[in-house]
Structure 1
Amino acid sequence: MGIVNIEDELHEQLRRASKASYRSINAQAAFWIRIGMLGELNPGLTFQDLVARELKAAGVDAPEPAAAPPLKTVA
């Protein structure tokens, strides 16, 4: 685990988003990083597709988008 230096304005956006999402600031940053990485690995999928697949992989009953390509994963 390490420290990441980010701009003050981005930190403020993280703080606000974490309150709205009921996550810690670190958890919100991790969520944005993971979704960003998955988006880069799967440019044909929407944000909603990525979240639905992450929920399904975690065992949550989320509908799979129709005809979506296999998900590339983040190690």
Structure 2
Amino acid sequence: MGIVNIDDDLHDQIRKASAVSCRSINAQAAFWIKVGMLCEMNPTMGFNEIVAQEMRAAGVVAPAIKAASI
């Protein structure tokens, strides 16, 4: 593990995003770094596809969405 020097404005954005996503500042930065790396390695995949793939790889199973009756 090491120290990463980042711009103060980026740190402020990470802090704000971490509050919204209920992550620590370090966890938010790590999430953005991992997703960015995965995007660069898989340029044809979108964010939602990458997150869904990572969720499946972690064994997360989402329940089926039921259609709303009108």
TM-score scaled by structure 2?
Answer: 0.86
What's the secondary structure of 1:54's corresponding residue? helix
In the alignment, is residue 28 of structure 1 matched against residue 44 of structure 2?
no
TM-score scaled by structure 1?
Answer: 0.81
Matched residues in 2 for 1:44 and 1:61: separation? 24
Matched residues in 1 for 2:24 and 2:58: separation? 19
What is the CA RMSD across the aligned residues, in angstroms? 0.7
Alignment size in residue pairs: 62
Instruction: After TM superposition, give the deviation of residue 61 of structure 1 in Å.
Output: 1.3
- Which amino acid in 2 is paired with 1:40? E
Identity %: 65
In the alignment, is residue 61 of structure 1 matched against residue 61 of structure 2?
yes
Matched residues in 2 for 1:4 and 1:49: separation? 28
Instruction: After TM superposition, give the deviation of residue 24 of structure 1 in Å.
Output: 0.3
- Which amino acid in 1 is paired with 2:14? L
Map of 1:1-75 to 2, 5 A cutoff? 1-62=1-62
What is the aligned partner in structure 2 of residue 66 from structure 1? none
Q: Which runs of 5+ in 1 are unaligned?
A: 63-75
